[in-house]
C-alpha cells in the first residue's frame, strides 16, 4: 500500500508512522528526517533546506519533490511506502499524483492548543537511526532509553519557530485535506486517541475494498 500521513506539526504523525510501517513492512519516508540527515552530513540539499527549516518555513517545492522522486524509485518502495510530511502543498500533491498512485491518506487531527503543549515539551533522540521521541513531563533525562543517544530539543520545536510552522500548515497544508477527501481516499484519526487506532483504520479500509 502507498500511504500518506497528513497532520499538523506535533499531531502525532511520527508515532503512528512507526506503527504502520512495522505492521505493513513498508519504509517510513519522512522528508523532515531526510532533510535533518542531509543537514547533519552537510550536503548541498541540507544547506538549502536549513535556512528554511530554521525559520519554520517550507523548503521550496522543487527541492522536496526531487528528493521524494528519487527516494520512491528505491528497491524498498516496491511493495509500498508511507510518506510522512510530504506532500505539504498543493503543487507537491499534484506532482506526487504524476509520480505514483496513492491508496489512502490518514489525517491525524489534533487541536492547536494541544499541539503547542506537545511540541514545546517534545524532546527527541539526536541519533537519526533511532528517532525516539519523549515529552519533558514524562521523561526529563538527557540519555535516550532506547539507544543511549542524546535527548535534545529540535531547533524547529522552539516556540517561535513552532508557531510559524503551525501557520504554514494552516495556510498551505490544511487544503490537502479537501484535496484527498474529494478523491475519496481520506481517513481521519484522532491525534488524542491511542496510536494503534491508525492501524485499525487502515485494516478496516482494506477490508472495505475486498
Ligand atoms: P517535519 O519533521 O516533517 O516537521 O519537517 C521539518 C521541516 O522540514 C519543515 O518545517 C520544513 O521546513 C521541512 N520540510 C519537511 N517536509 C517538507 C515538505 N514536504 N515541503 C517543504 N518543506 C518540508
DSSP labels, 39-77: HHHT-HHHHHHHHHHTTTPPPPHHHHHHHHHHHHTSGGG
Q: Give tens-digit pLDDT for 60-95.
A: 999 999 999 999 999 999 999 999 999 999 999 999
Per-residue confidence band for 209, with pLDDT thresholds at 50, 70 and 90:
confident
Cα angle at 92 between 86 and 97, to 5 degrees?
95
> Distance from first CA to last CA of the chain, Å, rounded?
14
Is there a catalytic annotation at residue 118? Answer: no
Checking if the pLDDT of 156 tops 90, the result is no
Checking if the pLDDT of 193 tops 90, the result is no
| CA separation for the pair 17, 40 (Å, rounded) | 23
Please report, rounded to a whole number, the percentage of residues in the chain having pLDDT higher than 70. 100
Residue 16 is predicted with a pLDDT of: 94
Residue 39 is predicted with a pLDDT of: 93
Q: Give tens-digit pLDDT for 76-85.
A: 999 999 999 9
Taking Cα atoms as reference points, which of 205, 184, 167 lies closest to residue 20?
A: 205
* Ligand 1 atom having least distance to the Cα of 87: 19
Distance 200 CA to ligand 1 centre (A): 27
Beta carbon of 32 within 6 Å of any ligand 1 atom: yes
Distance 132 CA to ligand 1 centre (A): 18
* Ligand 1 atom having least distance to the Cα of 13: 3
pTM above 0.75, yes or no: yes
DSSP of 8-51, one letter per residue?
A: -TTSSHHHHHHHHHHHHT--EEEHHHHHHHHHHHT-HHHHHHHH
* Ligand 1 atom having least distance to the Cα of 86: 19
Is there a catalytic annotation at residue 154? Answer: yes
Beta carbon of 52 within 6 Å of any ligand 1 atom: yes
Residue 19 is predicted with a pLDDT of: 94
Residue 183 is predicted with a pLDDT of: 96
Is there a catalytic annotation at residue 13? Answer: yes
Checking if the pLDDT of 155 tops 90, the result is no
User: What is the average per-residue pLDDT within 92-114?
Assistant: 94
Amino acid at each position: 500500500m502507498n500511504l500518506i500521513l497528513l497532520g499538523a506539526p506535533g499531531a502525532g504523525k511520527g508515532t503512528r508512522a512507526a506503527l504502520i510501517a512495522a505492521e505493513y513492512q513498508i519504509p517510513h519516508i519522512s522528508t523532515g528526517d531526510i532533510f535533518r540527515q542531509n543537514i547533519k552530513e552537510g550536503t548541498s540539499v541540507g544547506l538549502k533546506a536549513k535556512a528554511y527549516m530554521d525559520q519554520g518555513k517550507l523548503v521550496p517545492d522543487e527541492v522536496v519533490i526531487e528528493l521524494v522522486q528519487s527516494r520512491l524509485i528505491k528497491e524498498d518502495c516496491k511493495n509500498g511506502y508511507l510518506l510522512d510530511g510530504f506532500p505539504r502543498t498543493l503543487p507537491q500533491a499534484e506532482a506526487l499524483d504524476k509520480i505514483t498512485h496513492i491508496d489512502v491518506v490518514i489525517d491525524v487531527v489534533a487541536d492547536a492548543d494541544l499541539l503547542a503543549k506537545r511540541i514545546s515539551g517534545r524532546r527527541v533522540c539526536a541519533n537519526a537511526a533511532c528517532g525516539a521521541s519523549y515529552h519533558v513531563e514524562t521523561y526529563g533525562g538527557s540519555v535516550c532509553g532506547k539507544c543511549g543517544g542524546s535527548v535534545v530539543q529540535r531547533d524547529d520545536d522552539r516556540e517561535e519557530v513552532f508557531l510559524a510552522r503551525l501557520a504554514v500548515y494552516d495556510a498551505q497544508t490544511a487544503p490537502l485535506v479537501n484535496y484527498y477527501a474529494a478523491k475519496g481516499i481520506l481517513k481521519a484519526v484522532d491525534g488524542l486517541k491511542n496510536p494503534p487506532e491508525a492501524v485499525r483504520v487502515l485494516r478496516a479500509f482494506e477490508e472495505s475494498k475486498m
